Amino acid sequence: MKHCFANRQLLQISFVCCLLVGLANLANADASHLDGREAEAVAVAVADFRSKQGSFVEGKPVYGELKHYTVDIERRGNNFEINFIPKEPRLLKPNEAGTGGSTDYGWGVTYLISAERLKIERVDYMR
């Protein structure tokens, strides 16, 4: 009887460990696919972003090189919100604050794009 109870506990512990490992992998996974309409919306945002590269404020770029950005996309009702988030040029030290929505690579830029018409509805900046 004790042997069956011990096996059952071991099985439950194994199940919980597998579940936790799976959830950890899911949490660390990057989105690696877009549907066609999302890809079209990203293309509209990238075209506008690139058309404005080379603009500077106070000697720092507003629209930096895309290789220094992470791009996120979210569906917001009938719109796509596409965020261009600049990477930090260096790792932050413990207890060191970041720079907000901009870095030496450029500003954070958010596009709100209509899912139906694929038109830019609004552009917001993070400084």
pTM to 2 decimal places: 0.68
The 10s digit of each residue's pLDDT in 95-121 is 555 555 667 788 889 999 999 999 999
The 10s digit of each residue's pLDDT in 65-83 is 999 889 999 999 999 999 9
Local confidence band at 2 (pLDDT 50, 70, 90 cut-offs) = low
Lowest mean pLDDT of 30-34, 39-43, 70-74, 106-110, name the range: 30-34
Q: What is the mean pLDDT of the chain?
A: 77
> According to the 3-state scheme, what is the secondary structure of the chain?
CHHHHHHHHHHHHHHHHHHHHHHHHHHHCCCCCCCHHHHHHHHHHHHHHHHCCCCEECCEECCCCHHHEEEEEEEECCEEEEEEEECCCCCCCCCCCCCCCEECCEEEEEEEEECCCCCEEEEEEEC
Q: Give domain limits for the chain.
A: 1-30, 36-126
